[in-house]
Amino acid sequence: MVDFVLVGSLLTLFFLAIIQLTLVLHVRNTLIDAAASGARYGTLADRSAADAEERTRGLIQSALNAGFAQQVSTSEVTYQGLRTLEVTVSAPMPLIGLIGPRDLLEVKGHAAVQP
């Protein structure tokens, strides 16, 4: 009986840790995809950096929730020798479910600016 409780609690702990790691990776990958998509959208001929921020916020809000889309910024930088639009998203790191400390997760997306 004691062995079952010890092994069962250990397996439950491992299972919950794997689920949480999966959630963290999902949030991170979703933010990276939204930042890259927003950057590509902002570099279109009739778009601007403000459009890139708006698009990134919209994608994050539709995939996660509004709390992850509060800090989105854009800047024009040189990345690997090319002039690019960089979209930076700072979001909370989900430690327990989707709850976590603010601004621990920062991701960036780049897209080449058309000459």
Instruction: List, in order, residues 6 or more apart from 37 with CB less than 8 Å away.
Output: 55, 56, 59, 109
pLDDT tier at 95, thresholds 50, 70, 90: confident
- d(CA 69, CA 2) in angstroms, rounded, equals 47
Query: What residue ranges do the domains of the chain occupy?
Result: 2-112
pLDDT tier at 102, thresholds 50, 70, 90: confident
- d(CA 66, CA 37) in angstroms, rounded, equals 18
pLDDT at 42: 94
Taking residues 37-57, report their average pLDDT.
94
Instruction: Determine phi and psi for 108, rounding to 5 degrees.
Output: -135, 145
pLDDT at 100: 77
Taking residues 26-35, report their average pLDDT.
96
pLDDT at 51: 96
pLDDT of 11 above 80: yes
CB 32 within 8 A of CB 110: no
> Which of 108, 44, 45, 104 is CA-nearest to residue 73?
108
The letter for the amino acid at 35 is A
pLDDT of 81 above 90: no
